[in-house]
Amino acid sequence: MPGSTRTRCPLCPNKPTRHDKRNVATVTIEHPYLNKLVAWARSNAAIRAVVITGSLARDDNSVDEYSDLDVQIIARDISAYTADDSWLDALGEVWIRFPLNEDLPYRLVWFAGGYKVDFQFIRVDQIRAELDSAALSDEYQRGYIVALDKDELFGCLPSSPRIFLSPPSPRAKEVLAAINEFWFEAIHVAQFIRRREFWVVKYRDWTMKEDLLRLLEWHARATGKDVNTWLLGKRIMDWADEDAAEAIRQIWASWDPADLWRGLLIQLELFRRLSRELSQALGFEYSDAMHREIEGYIHRLYKEDQEAH
């Protein structure tokens, strides 16, 4: 294969291993902090490898000027990087870091200029245990590039297929929990619109939208073929069905009772359809009699709200 070499892996010296330059080179990745980060890691003896994951490693045309740099730092001892954040100063001016002063194995950092780097710290012994099987984790399945490997730790790993593995289908209990929570909060939202407590409306409505997103994702994967629902609703207009996409455009209401009612009622109709079709696709029993009764109650509150018409 062009661009590949045969070598022996230090973890399994009897096994010939192919090193694919797509997963070792840095020249195909562009980010203002990549080269300085690799240079910094190379000069630190405790750091043994740097692996790039996320959108920059996927090669799926999703990268733009706002893309994060997702970095795994493989080190002998990670406490030096989690207990004290002063090492960040060597990389550039920090606007904000999260978490702050916590001994956790990651740092999410905004550098000056609006550049975001997500650091994950992994001990060498941890990564050795993971790599021993020579199998790709879900994260590496989506894409990984080894930017630095002082000890050839990653020699046994195959190239990334750069695919998203679909999560398992939800259990009936999970679907029912999301459906129940949605309707629980729907009553709250309707009553707080009547009370003109719009901040609380927005707060409760966000829980409804979290449950709606779960159903949208489950529905898309259960009724479509090889659908990638991404994360946090990214590219939702690409993977949601046409009717759902149209409804989604209308459920984000302003600070106005008439608009809040309109968005709520559209959201209820969309959610009920998704619940019915998802349950059917997964072979679950589903009865919407109680939800129709709740929806009728909400419609009565709406009709009584003369200022909203």
DSSP state of 240: S
Buried b (16+ CB within 10 A) or exposed e, 125-157: eebeeebeeeebeebbebbbbbbbbeebbbbbb
Query: Contact 92/111 with Cβ under 8 angstroms?
Result: yes
Q: How large a percentage of the chain has pLDDT more than 90?
A: 68
pLDDT of 162 reads: 86
Beta bridge partners of 145: 52
Cα separation of 101 and 92, whole Å?
A: 19
Give me the residue spans of the domains in the chain: 4-149, 172-308
Tell me how many degrees the CA angle 260-264-267 measures, rounded to the nearest 5: 140
Contacts of 117 (CB under 8 A, 6+ apart): 33, 37, 68, 69, 70, 71, 91, 109, 111
How far apart (Å, rounded) are the C-alpha atoms in residues 18 and 9? 9
90-94, 132-136, 158-162, 167-171 — which is least confidently predicted? 132-136
Instruction: Please say if the pLDDT value at position 284 is more than 60.
Output: yes
Query: What are 110's strand-pairing partners?
Result: 96, 116
Looking at domain 172-308, its CATH class is mainly alpha
Cα dist from 253 to 165, 188, 198, 242, 260, whole Å? 34, 16, 11, 20, 5
pTM for the model = 0.83
CATH of domain 4-149: 3.30.460.10
Q: Flag the least confident range among 35-39, 136-140, 238-242.
A: 136-140
Measured CA to CA, the distance from residue 55 to residue 118 in angstroms comes to 12
